[in-house]
Structure 1
Amino acid sequence: MGISDLIASFLQDSLDTAENGVLEVQRSELAQRFNCVPSQINYVMSTRFSPERGYIVESRRGGNGYIRITRVQVDRQTLMMHVINSLGSSVDLASARAILSNLVQSGALERDMGQTILTAVGDKALSRVPRESRDAVRADILRQVLILQV
């Protein structure tokens, strides 16, 4: 298990026992606990605790800096609209996979539908689209298909 996995696991366990699904930790204490640089903590925050995965992360830097992680508990329609509105002008395949996985895990999408959408936005389905345009086309398709699911 890598350092990122250890940090994510620790944070997830702490979040599971936190009051109201909110965890507040100091970046420097985490870095010291795991004997890593603070940027490693930032990496874990951006990749494991993103809005697409159902979290809101607030951060304050400096001497008394902290990270506040909030697990978002929302109804299906609100979650779907949040995901749709947070899609940028391009989405890479890994991000599309994470978004769809979160929607399936949260119960907002059926597993079969998540797999179907992932197939539709996959590189194989977009093979005739020039590589430099795929992420933009993927975002457009993902957005439109998710709108139909709301």
Structure 2
Amino acid sequence: MRNISDVIEEYLKGILEENRQEAIEIKRSELAERFDCVPSQINYVIKTRFTVEKGYIVESKRGGGGYIRISRIQHRKDSEMIEEVMELINPRVSQSKAIDVLERLVDYEIITPRESKLLGSVIDRDVLAFSLPVRDEVRARIMTAMLFTLKYKC
């Protein structure tokens, strides 16, 4: 059984895909009403599932006519997206943000799900048994090396 966060995420991604829009605007309260949840649940989904690492930009306007605008980051070339990701992860990157980046690379079909799992296992905190912040720096270097290779292979 899926949880409400998964359902809300799928719904929002579906709207983005369905309409082929660059951005969607939603009202937090209307979405909460639709899914019979509290508005903070909507905030949680947007904050954790629509991040820059995953390829989204979120803008928010509060108040009576407030809205949340979610747009997918558009790139003309894969190499541009890879360059942006390299900037995002340096000089250090946490494991959760690194996994978000891998999911984004799979979504854009730059790497396969199998390659994502392989790299994910290499950058796992249990494998990189260093103390922080060294662990996050080593993870960023490993990912940057991989991305550098992908950038010039594309």
Q: TM-score range by the shorter chain?
A: 0.7 to 0.9
**C-alpha contact (below 8 Å) 2:89/2:98 kept by paired residues:** no
1:43 maps to 44
Match of 1:105 in 2: 107
**CA-based RMSD:** 2.3
- Report SS of the residue matched to 1:68: strand
State the Cα deviation string for residues 23-48 of structure 1 (Å, max 9, x = none).
11111211222232222112111221
Q: In the superposition, relative to structure 1, how do residues 119 and 78 fare at CA in structure 2: closer, same or farther (>3 Å)?
A: same
Matches within 5 A, 1:112-123: 113-123=115-125
Q: Does 1:125 align with 2:127?
A: yes
1:134 counterpart residue number = 135
Residues 106 and 113, structure 2, Cα contact 8 Å, conserved in 1: yes
Quick one: distance in 1 between partners of 2:110 and 2:91? 23
Q: Matches of residues 1-150 of structure 1 in structure 2 within 5 Å?
A: 1-74=2-75, 75-87=77-89, 89-111=91-113, 113-127=115-129, 129-130=130-131, 133-150=134-151
Secondary structure in structure 1 of the residue aligned to 2:21: helix
Q: Which consecutive residues of structure 2, in runs of 5 or more, have no partner in the other structure?
A: none
Shift of 1:70: 1.3
TM superposition score normalised by structure 2 = 0.80
**63-72 vs 136-145, which moves further:** 136-145
Cα distance in 1 for partners of 2:88, 2:24 equals 23
Change in Cα spacing, 1:39 to 1:100, as seen in structure 2 (3 Å) is same
Count of residue pairs brought into register by the alignment: 149
Task: Give the TM-score, by structure 1 length.
Answer: 0.82
After TM superposition, give the deviation of residue 123 of structure 1 in Å. Answer: 2.4
Gaps of 5+ in 1: none
SS at match of 2:111: coil
Letter in 2 for 1:11: L
In 1, the alpha carbon distance for the partners of 2:36 and 2:132 equals 39
Residue 112 of structure 1: CA displacement?
5.2
